[in-house]
Amino acid sequence: MSAVYKEDQEDWVTVCLKYLLFVFNFLFWVGGAAVLGVGVWTLVEKSDYLSLLASSTFAVSAYILILAGSLVVVTGFLGCCAVIREQRSCLSVYFFCLLVIFLIELVAGVLAYVYYQRLSEELKQHLNQTMTENYAQPGKEAITLAVDRLQQDFKCCGSNNSHDWTLSVYISTKQAESRVVPDSCCKTITPLCGKRDHPSNIYKVEGGCITKLEQFLADHLLVIGAVGIGVACLQICGMVFTCCLYRRIKMEPY
């Protein structure tokens, strides 16, 4: 009698583990969609700004999340198949996939956190130089568009302030046509509006564009880090459930 009770109890535990894994797979898909969405959002939302950054860490973090999110979709189907078929080989592959994705997302989260720590210093060292030396120069069309969009989106002018443009290569050439700032600094853009740098005409924001861009990137990095590490922690639960089910199936006679 006790043997029958023990067998029924083992079957009940196995069924519970299977349902837990099904629930995990659903949450895993939702988390994967979030990871993929954040990665795409990061690259698409303000992709022009990436050309203004000295390093590619920000973009790499987003690409890693996109890779991880895509793998999650495939792995989720594999997890359902592994649970339904109750084969140890399928569970082993599923566990390995979870482990790989866990490490990928952890790397993305750590990269985002590390870059967040040195973001301010990088922008202070490189943004002003990038804007003043490359704006409206041959072969630097991407940077020119990025600067124009940056100044219009964030309603700012210059890296630190509008006076930064007095040292730019663009303003010192005939191409500027006597402008003192690019037209994208103007509150209302009209041809040659950059000739007049009065506060009523151009954006005079304390801290300049560097403050605005730093805050924008910092917010994105926090989201990347939080989503990456959050979903990675969720996967730990999945790996534990997978190991438990693997052991239960292994103990059952064929």
pLDDT for position 182: 93
Q: Is the pLDDT of residue 156 over 80?
A: yes
DSSP one-letter string for 35-80:
HHHHHHHHHHHTGGGGGG-SSSHHHHHHHHHHHHHHHHHHHHHHHH
- For 14, other C-beta atoms within 10 Å of its C-beta total 18
Residue 192 backbone class (left: φ over 0; alpha: ψ -120 to 50; beta: rest): left
pLDDT, one tens digit per residue, over 161-176 is 889 998 899 998 888 8
Strand-pairing partners, residue 202, are: 186
Q: Is-contact 68 97, C-beta < 8 A?
A: no
pLDDT for position 46: 62
pLDDT, one tens digit per residue, over 209-252 is 988 888 888 887 787 777 777 777 777 877 887 787 777 765 44
Predicted TM-score (pTM) of the model is 0.73
Which letter does DSSP use for residue 1 in this model?
-
pLDDT, one tens digit per residue, over 177-213 is 989 999 999 999 988 899 887 888 888 887 789 888 8
**Mean per-residue pLDDT, 20-39:** 78
Q: Is the pLDDT of residue 6 over 50?
A: no
> CA nearest 156: which of 195, 191, 119, 207?
207
